[in-house]
Amino acid sequence: MYVVTKSGQKLPVDDSSVDYENGYVPFQQTVGLYTDDTTLKDVWILTLQRDIHKLDSFHPMELEFVADVKFTHEPTKEEILYAMSANGLSRYDVATVQKGLILDMEDD
Protein backbone atom coordinates (compact mmCIF):
# COMPACT_ATOMS: atom_id res chain seq x y z
CA MET A 1 0.00 0.00 0.00
CA TYR A 2 1.17 3.58 -0.54
CA VAL A 3 0.11 7.19 -0.30
CA VAL A 4 0.83 9.89 -2.82
CA THR A 5 1.88 13.38 -1.73
CA LYS A 6 0.72 16.63 -3.30
CA SER A 7 3.99 16.76 -5.24
CA GLY A 8 3.40 13.25 -6.62
CA GLN A 9 5.86 11.40 -4.40
CA LYS A 10 4.86 7.79 -3.67
CA LEU A 11 5.36 6.78 -0.02
CA PRO A 12 5.08 3.15 1.13
CA VAL A 13 2.76 2.31 4.05
CA ASP A 14 2.94 -0.88 6.14
CA ASP A 15 -0.62 -2.22 5.94
CA SER A 16 0.10 -5.59 7.55
CA SER A 17 -2.19 -4.77 10.52
CA VAL A 18 -5.20 -3.68 8.41
CA ASP A 19 -8.23 -5.97 8.83
CA TYR A 20 -9.14 -6.72 5.20
CA GLU A 21 -11.13 -9.82 6.23
CA ASN A 22 -14.11 -7.71 7.35
CA GLY A 23 -14.33 -5.75 4.11
CA TYR A 24 -12.41 -2.67 5.28
CA VAL A 25 -10.57 -0.99 2.45
CA PRO A 26 -8.55 2.06 3.46
CA PHE A 27 -8.96 4.75 0.84
CA GLN A 28 -8.55 8.51 0.75
CA GLN A 29 -11.99 9.15 2.29
CA THR A 30 -11.38 6.78 5.23
CA VAL A 31 -7.72 7.24 6.14
CA GLY A 32 -5.93 10.06 7.95
CA LEU A 33 -2.18 10.35 7.53
CA TYR A 34 -0.17 11.84 10.40
CA THR A 35 3.48 12.05 11.35
CA ASP A 36 4.74 10.14 14.39
CA ASP A 37 4.90 13.32 16.48
CA THR A 38 1.22 14.20 15.92
CA THR A 39 -0.76 14.63 19.12
CA LEU A 40 -3.99 16.07 20.47
CA LYS A 41 -3.60 18.76 23.14
CA ASP A 42 -6.27 19.91 25.58
CA VAL A 43 -7.85 23.32 25.12
CA TRP A 44 -10.71 25.10 26.87
CA ILE A 45 -12.91 27.53 24.98
CA LEU A 46 -14.80 30.17 26.93
CA THR A 47 -17.77 31.33 24.86
CA LEU A 48 -19.31 34.64 25.84
CA GLN A 49 -22.89 35.52 24.87
CA ARG A 50 -25.10 38.52 25.57
CA ASP A 51 -28.82 38.17 26.35
CA ILE A 52 -30.33 40.76 24.01
CA HIS A 53 -33.64 40.84 25.95
CA LYS A 54 -32.21 40.78 29.49
CA LEU A 55 -34.22 43.82 30.64
CA ASP A 56 -37.42 42.69 28.92
CA SER A 57 -39.11 39.92 30.91
CA PHE A 58 -41.78 39.48 28.21
CA HIS A 59 -39.30 37.93 25.77
CA PRO A 60 -37.55 34.59 26.18
CA MET A 61 -33.78 34.60 26.52
CA GLU A 62 -32.12 35.22 23.16
CA LEU A 63 -28.33 35.01 23.12
CA GLU A 64 -26.00 36.91 20.83
CA PHE A 65 -22.41 35.68 20.35
CA VAL A 66 -19.77 38.08 21.68
CA ALA A 67 -16.42 36.23 21.74
CA ASP A 68 -14.51 32.98 22.15
CA VAL A 69 -11.49 32.98 24.44
CA LYS A 70 -8.97 30.10 24.32
CA PHE A 71 -7.25 28.74 27.43
CA THR A 72 -4.59 26.03 27.74
CA HIS A 73 -6.02 25.16 31.17
CA GLU A 74 -9.52 25.07 32.62
CA PRO A 75 -10.30 28.72 33.34
CA THR A 76 -10.89 29.80 36.91
CA LYS A 77 -13.97 31.77 37.95
CA GLU A 78 -11.79 34.87 38.21
CA GLU A 79 -10.51 34.41 34.64
CA ILE A 80 -14.08 33.97 33.44
CA LEU A 81 -15.25 37.08 35.30
CA TYR A 82 -12.37 39.10 33.86
CA ALA A 83 -13.14 37.92 30.29
CA MET A 84 -16.82 38.77 30.75
CA SER A 85 -15.97 42.27 31.97
CA ALA A 86 -13.34 42.83 29.26
CA ASN A 87 -15.93 41.93 26.61
CA GLY A 88 -18.72 44.13 27.99
CA LEU A 89 -20.90 41.42 29.53
CA SER A 90 -23.00 42.17 32.58
CA ARG A 91 -25.81 40.72 34.65
CA TYR A 92 -27.83 37.96 32.92
CA ASP A 93 -25.24 37.47 30.16
CA VAL A 94 -23.83 33.97 29.71
CA ALA A 95 -20.41 32.35 29.72
CA THR A 96 -19.92 28.67 28.84
CA VAL A 97 -16.75 26.58 28.96
CA GLN A 98 -16.13 23.64 26.64
CA LYS A 99 -13.13 21.34 26.63
CA GLY A 100 -11.72 20.55 23.21
CA LEU A 101 -8.70 19.06 21.50
CA ILE A 102 -6.22 20.78 19.20
CA LEU A 103 -4.37 18.82 16.53
CA ASP A 104 -0.71 19.59 17.14
CA MET A 105 2.82 18.21 17.01
CA GLU A 106 4.95 17.19 20.00
CA ASP A 107 7.72 19.69 20.63
CA ASP A 108 11.14 18.12 21.01
Give domain limits for the chain: 38-105
Band (pLDDT 50/70/90 cuts) for residue 102 is: very high
Instruction: Give the C-alpha separation, 91 to 86, whole Å.
Output: 14
pLDDT tens per residue across span 6-53: 888 888 888 888 777 877 776 766 677 787 788 999 999 999 999 998
**9-23, 52-66, 92-106: range with highest mean pLDDT:** 92-106
Per the CB < 8 A criterion, the answer to whether 44 and 98 are in contact is: yes
Nearest residue to 68 (alpha-carbon basis) of 104, 103, 98: 98
Is pTM beyond 0.85? Reply is no
